[in-house]
Amino acid sequence: MNSERESLLAMLPDKWEEFKNAFKEEGRKVSERSHLLQFGCDEPNDHRFHVNRVVGSGAVVALAFTLDSVVPRIIVEDYWNESAKDALGFVRQLSID
């Protein structure tokens, strides 16, 4: 059990970066194609990531992701839907050769 947890914690920083980069890229693509939907991303700290809806000259947080390395998981908060709070868990895939 400890080796599984250690393995998950070892891959967590890379997976967190992949996750953030995927959202940044998709936000960029949507923003390029739409005049109504414009998105930007920011990282207030190492464990928090925001996807912002750009409105006029300002930005409003649409989604907030918090990395919880204790569990490990990513907590998702949808600011457009106050009751929406969820979490994404990490699992290690085993391959059988």
- Per-residue pLDDT tens for 7-23? 778 888 888 999 999 98
Contact 20, 49 (CB under 8 A): yes
- Position 79 scores a pLDDT of 81
**Structure tokens belonging to residue 58:** 């300002």
* Closest alpha carbon to 85 in 96, 68, 95, 69: 68
Identity of the amino acid at 50: H
Q: What is the largest CA-CA distance in the chain?
A: 54
> Sorting pLDDT into bands at 50, 70 and 90, what band is 95?
very low
Q: Say yes or no to pLDDT of 57 above 60.
A: yes
- Position 94 scores a pLDDT of 42
